[in-house]
Amino acid sequence: MPELPDLAVYVDALNRRVRGQVLNAVRVRNPFVLRTVDPPLDAVAGCRVTGVRRQGKRIVLEFAGELFLVIHLMIAGRLRWLEAGHAAPARITLTLFEFANGTLALTEAGTKRRASLHVVRGAAALAALDSGGLEIGDIDAKTFAARLRAENHTLKRALTDPHILSGIGNAYSDEILHRAKLSPIAQTAKLDDDAMARLYAAATSVLDEWTQRLRTETGDRFPEKVTAFRPAMAVHGKFRQPCPVCGTPVQRIVYAENECNYCPRCQTNGVVLADRALSRLLHKSFRREI
């Protein structure tokens, strides 16, 4: 799922291309993607885009009269910018947004259709789509600590819960926890002030650094390789590869459709966390320490 750094680069690219432009037409190829009916989708056709911004993990196109077109990419959704004369991918394109200077395509790979499109009117309707998580860049360390300690969760869950913090998902939570040298299963209620300060510093630095890195890599181009797995990441997607800090093989916990990656030496004092499927398979042979 595209997270804060990826979405920030999408927003930059869209502001350069469609802000001030008239949305000539919206062509829905897969009707399931549209999750609202009032206002109708046609309400934004012929309207000028006044701005593009991020709301959590959603991208919002703003129009006059407090009309908003809200895109949620979910896991496999992506945006593509098509210059005049370039056709959209036939099988994966969900919606086309046509402008005089090009076409924005909303695509989704795979067979599970999760990406969504909403058209809403008014600030209150837009706010209703917001999960309420705090933006890391807008809060200080004290506010960050208070929000995480309001309920007791594992650090992995707390970082990725959109009701707690905004824009962080599976990939960058792994990177944040590795930099903070904290276990993904540590409890927020038991985290001391020093560890909480490290976590806040890691969250702000990781997100800032990756946003700037992706902006530099993308330049004025439209983002094309939006992925949760990047070679320069420390632990995410690096199962069995050496930790860049200590050289210990990165471990993982697999659950549902996600996985948590961590360094057992840097983060868990040498303890290998139990993977439910693997530990059940190996029973007593499952190694608990590196």
Q: Is the pLDDT of residue 286 over 60?
A: no
- The per-residue pLDDT for 85 is 79
Nearest alpha-carbon partner for 211 in 135, 143, 117, 155: 135
The mean pLDDT of 261-281, rounded to a whole number, is 80
Angle at 239 between CA 287 and CA 163, to 5 degrees: 100
The mean pLDDT of 22-33, rounded to a whole number, is 96
**268 CA to centre of own chain:** 25
Bond prior to 223 in cis (omega within 30° of 0): no
State the helix-helix crossing angle for 4-18 and 193-218, rounded to 10 degrees.
40
Bond prior to 242 in cis (omega within 30° of 0): no
Q: Is the pLDDT of residue 284 over 80?
A: no
Query: Can you tell me the distance from the alpha carbon of 229 to that of 239, in angstroms, rounded to the nearest whole number?
Result: 12
Query: Can you tell me the distance from the alpha carbon of 242 to that of 246, in angstroms, rounded to the nearest whole number?
Result: 8
Query: Can you tell me the distance from the alpha carbon of 152 to that of 148, in angstroms, rounded to the nearest whole number?
Result: 8
The mean pLDDT of 119-148, rounded to a whole number, is 97
Give the distance between the most distant pair of CA atoms in the chain: 65
Going by pLDDT thresholds of 50, 70 and 90, the confidence category of residue 281 is very low
Query: Can you tell me the distance from the alpha carbon of 196 to that of 194, in angstroms, rounded to the nearest whole number?
Result: 5
Domain boundaries, the chain: 4-127, 136-285
User: Could you confirm whether domain 136-285 is CATH 1.10.8.50?
Assistant: yes
- The per-residue pLDDT for 258 is 82
Single pTM value for the model = 0.93
Query: Can you tell me the distance from the alpha carbon of 213 to that of 50, in angstroms, rounded to the nearest whole number?
Result: 27
Tokens coding 182? 């904290």
Tokens coding 223? 């983002």
Going by pLDDT thresholds of 50, 70 and 90, the confidence category of residue 277 is low
For 60-103, what is each residue's pLDDT tens digit? 999 999 999 999 999 999 999 999 878 898 899 999 999 999 99
For 189-207, what is each residue's pLDDT tens digit? 999 999 999 999 999 999 9
Task: Looking at the structure, give the CATH architecture of the domain made up of residues 4-127.
Answer: Alpha-Beta Barrel (3.20)
For 213-225, what is each residue's pLDDT tens digit? 999 999 999 999 9
- Listed range (2-11, 14-23, 206-215, 253-262) with the worst mean pLDDT: 253-262
